[in-house]
């Protein structure tokens, strides 16, 4: 425990978590990051398995929180910017649908948080 939050020692380093963003990652940021990174990792594996080449994938997350209640996360909208792919956008979208169904974090929270995902081909 720290003055403004908690610190967790992990094999790759220390992670500071706090409700005060000047003292560490806020819990909702970690939640959204977990959703985005899990989905992105599964998406990458599917693209590799389907032999769909790309250069990079960047993920942008938009978060909606219910300030009228306890400020819980109610929606997470993910946009996957796929660069360097030489396939039709429809193939990238189908792969993302498959990733959504196979991402354990998305499947863990999708009954309480609306998660949408879309692909933009750059």
From start to end of the chain, where are the E strands?
6-10, 13-17, 56-66, 72-83, 114-121
Q: Residue 111: which pLDDT band, with cuts at 50, 70 and 90? A: very high
- Residue that the structure tokens 């946009």 belong to: 79
What long-range pairs does 61-68 form, CB within 8 A, spacing at least 24? 61/32, 61/33, 61/35, 61/36, 63/28, 63/32, 65/28
Interval 21-76: pLDDT, tens: 999 999 999 999 999 999 999 999 999 999 999 999 999 999 999 999 899 999 99
- Report, as an integer, the average pLDDT of 9-17: 95
pLDDT in the model for residue 85: 95
């Amino acid at each position: 425990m720290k003055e403004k939050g908690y610190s967790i020692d992990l094999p790759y380093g220390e992670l500071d978590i706090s409700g005060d963003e000047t003292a560490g990652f806020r819990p909702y940021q970690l939640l959204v990051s977990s959703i985005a990174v899990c989905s992105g990792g599964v998406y990458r594996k599917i693209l590799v398995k389907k032999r769909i080449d790309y250069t990079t994938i960047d993920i942008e997350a938009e978060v909606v929180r219910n300030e009228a209640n306890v400020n819980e996360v109610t929606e997470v909208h993910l946009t996957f910017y796929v660069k360097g792919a030489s396939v039709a956008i429809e193939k990238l979208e189908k792969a993302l649908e498959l990733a959504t169904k196979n991402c354990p974090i998305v499947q863990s929270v999708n009954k309480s948080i609306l998660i949408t995902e879309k692909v933009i081909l750059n």
